[in-house]
Amino acid sequence: MTIVKLEPSKRVDERWLCWLEDGSIIRVTENEVVAFALYAGMEVSDELYDRLTEEAGRSAVRAKAVDYISHRPMSRKELTDKLTARPPKGKDGRQREPLATPELAGETADWLEDLGYLNDGEYAKTVARHYSAKGYGDRKVKDEMFRRGIPRRFWEAALAEAQPAESGVDAFLQKRFKGQAPDRKELKRAADALARRGYNWSEIREGLNRYGAEIEEEL
In this model, does residue 217 exceed pLDDT 80?
A: no
For residue 15, give the 3-state DSSP assignment. strand
The pLDDT value recorded for residue 219 is 59
| Tens digit of each residue's pLDDT (9 = 90 or more) over 153-169 | 999 999 999 999 999 99
| Bridge partners (DSSP) listed for residue 82 | none
In this model, does residue 218 exceed pLDDT 70?
A: no
Q: Is 84 exposed, middle or buried (0-12, 13-18, 19+ CB in 10 A)?
A: middle
Report the distance separating Cα 193 and Cα 175, nearest Å. 13
In this model, does residue 90 exceed pLDDT 70?
A: no
Of the candidates 79, 74, 83, the residue with the CA atom closest to the CA atom of residue 120: 74
Instruction: Return the axis-axis angle of helices 184-196 and 201-211, rounded to nearest 10°.
Output: 140
| Tens digit of each residue's pLDDT (9 = 90 or more) over 185-213 | 999 999 999 999 999 999 999 999 988 87
DSSP letters, 23-80, are S-EEEEEHHHHHHTT--TT-B--HHHHHHHHHHHHHHHHHHHHHHHHHHS---HHHHH
| Tens digit of each residue's pLDDT (9 = 90 or more) over 95-135 | 778 889 999 999 999 999 999 999 999 999 999 999 999 99
Report the distance separating Cα 5 and Cα 25, nearest Å. 10
DSSP state of 1: -
Give the whole-number percent of the chain exceeding pLDDT 70: 95
